[in-house]
Amino acid sequence: MAKNKLAKFADMERFSNVFQCGAREIDDTNEVAQMAGHWRERYFHNDNPIVLELGCGRGEYTVGLARQYPDKNFIGIDIKGARMWAGAKEAELAGMTNVAFLRINIEMLTSFFAQDEVDEIWITFCDPQMKKATKRLTSTYFMARYEQVMREGGLIHLKTDSPFLYTYTREMLRLNDYRVEADTDDLYAQPHYADAKALQTHYEHQWLDRGLTIKYLRWHLDKKTSKQEPTIEIEKDTYRSYGRNYVSTTNN
């Protein structure tokens, strides 16, 4: 397993569609950090919208979106390179020119994108981080970071199996008066939202096979001068208490 990981990391270094940067490497001379504000001209060589997938994991959703929307540029972001390798390799072998991968901690987002450079964000099956709000990718902590790199009114999508994260995010959106375009606690029971149903991640297949419903939210990023963090009590996802392989559908 260790040798396999090392081989993947070596591949990641040579893939032309992968950019990697550690927190200690960020300075004015770092080539990856210098991409901020220049992704279109230096990598994509077009003026198409830029879409991020945060916590992209294996990258299959990033690659799938890039195939589905050739008139948009997609960047999958995650810190785990061994997982990201699969999507990066697939895109590299296919010669896809509208997809890239950025291996960084998502909290460092503002160091790699300029103001208004990003048009859209997808958050797909991220860890709900039930213990600490600031780690949730839909928290006001992260929303403030998205505001620094996204254009006004840009779209954010959340797909999740987690009732906890879905409930938390709905309350965050309500408290801060964000413009919600789509809201369902059972995506595949709806006749709408074809774009959100067109692709399924590895984990999404698992959750559906085990009887869990998929929740989906889509909203506009309206830049706020201040934001309120939800304080309501939310029931924890019981199946996650037993690890990812145990599933209880009692609270779905």
Tell me the per-residue pLDDT of 226-252, one tens digit each, with 9 for 90 and over: 999 999 999 999 876 444 444 433 333
> What is the predicted pLDDT for the residue at 41?
97
Do 157 and 122 meet the contact criterion of CB atoms below 8 Å apart?
Answer: yes
> What is the predicted pLDDT for the residue at 51?
98
**pLDDT category, 172, cuts 50, 70, 90?**
very high
Q: pLDDT digits over 52-99, tens only?
A: 999 999 999 999 999 999 999 999 999 988 899 999 999 999 999 999
Contacts of 111 (CB under 8 A, 6+ apart): 26, 33, 36, 104
Catalytic residues: 127
Dihedral (Cα; 104, 121, 173, 210), 10-degree rounding: -90
> What is the predicted pLDDT for the residue at 242?
40
First to last CA, the chain: 36
Give Cα separations from 128 to 143, 171, 247 (angstroms).
15, 14, 15
Do 52 and 120 meet the contact criterion of CB atoms below 8 Å apart?
Answer: yes
> What is the predicted pLDDT for the residue at 12?
86
Q: pLDDT digits over 134-162, tens only?
A: 999 999 999 999 999 999 999 999 999 99
Whole-prediction pTM value? 0.91
Q: Can you tell me the distance from the alpha carbon of 189 to that of 29, in angstroms, rounded to the nearest whole number?
A: 50
The mean pLDDT of the chain is 90
pLDDT of 33 over the 80 cut: yes
> What is the predicted pLDDT for the residue at 193?
94
Q: Can you tell me the distance from the alpha carbon of 120 to that of 118, in angstroms, rounded to the nearest whole number?
A: 6
Contacts of 4 (CB under 8 A, 6+ apart): none
φ/ψ region of 243 (left if φ > 0, alpha if ψ in -120 to 50, else beta) reads left
Core vs surface per residue 227-240: b (16+ CB within 10 A) or e: bebbeeeeeebebb
- Of 14 and 241, the structure prediction assigns the larger pLDDT to 14
**Which of these, 99, 124, 102, 90, lies nearest to 22 by C-alpha position?**
102
In the numeric block, which tokens belong to residue 199?
């692709």
> What is the predicted pLDDT for the residue at 251?
39
**pLDDT category, 26, cuts 50, 70, 90?**
low
Residue with tokens 């779905």: 252
Q: Which helix (H) or strand (E) holds 154?
A: strand 150-160
Q: Can you tell me the distance from the alpha carbon of 125 to that of 191, in angstroms, rounded to the nearest whole number?
A: 21
Q: pLDDT digits over 201-221, tens only?
A: 888 888 899 888 999 999 999
> What is the predicted pLDDT for the residue at 240?
61
pLDDT of 1 over the 90 cut: no
